[in-house]
């Protein structure tokens, strides 16, 4: 975990969505691409992140009409990012410190190149590392 790099385990080329898309369009995109979050971009600039939980809790449970409410109304405007060259240990610490379960991956120019989640990290290490390293880093705040 100390030497494995983000670029080796991230979900590459993430699907993004516009802040002007409806909540239904966002949910359909998540279903189509089998993902639980979408970086939100306006003209190639990262402006937020939307999760399936956001749609349910802040959208549907908040009384919003999924055909009229737009992503920009409920997205999280603060997006935590990491670099492709960061180690999994560094990313686990970032996730723990920020209390998030996924980070948008950017290259040195700030271009989005992927997304890394707790699940991605767990899948790439052997069972002993999961128990000793990832659990220590990721779930110390749980």
Q: How many domains does the chain have?
A: 1
Q: Is residue 1 part of a domain?
A: no
What does pLDDT average to over the chain?
A: 87
pTM of the model: 0.82
Q: Is residue 70 part of a domain?
A: yes
- Contacts by residues 119-123 (CB-CB < 8 Å, ≥ 24 positions apart): 120/9, 120/10, 120/11, 121/1, 121/9, 121/88, 121/91, 121/92, 123/9
pLDDT confidence of 47, banded at 50, 70, 90? very high
Q: Is residue 98 part of a domain?
A: yes
Q: Is residue 63 part of a domain?
A: yes
Tell me what pLDDT residue 49 has. Answer: 95
What pLDDT digit, counting tens, does each position of 107-142 carry?
A: 888 889 999 988 888 777 665 555 555 555 555 544
Q: Is residue 43 part of a domain?
A: yes
CATH at 66: 3.10.580.10
Q: Is residue 129 part of a domain?
A: yes
Q: Is residue 94 part of a domain?
A: yes
Is residue 63's pLDDT more than 60? yes
Q: Is residue 110 part of a domain?
A: yes
Higher pLDDT, 121 or 55: 55
Domain ranges, residue 73: 6-138
CA 137 to chain CA mean position, Å:
17
């Amino acid at each position: 975990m100390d030497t494995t790099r983000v670029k080796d385990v991230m979900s590459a080329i993430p699907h993004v969505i516009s802040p002007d898309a409806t909540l239904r369009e966002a949910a359909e995109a998540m279903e189509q691409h089998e993902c639980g979050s979408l970086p939100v971009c306006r003209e190639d600039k990262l402006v937020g992140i939307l999760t399936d939980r956001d749609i349910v809790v802040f959208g549907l449970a908040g009384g919003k009409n999924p055909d009229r409410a737009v992503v920009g109304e409920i997205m999280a405007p603060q997006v935590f990012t990491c670099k492709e060259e960061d180690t999994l240990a560094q990313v686990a610490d970032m996730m723990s410190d920020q209390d998030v379960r996924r980070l948008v991956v950017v290259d040195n120019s700030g271009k989005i190149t992927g997304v890394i989640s707790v699940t991605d990290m767990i899948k790439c290490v052997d069972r002993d590392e999961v128990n000793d390293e990832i659990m220590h880093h990721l779930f110390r705040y749980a």
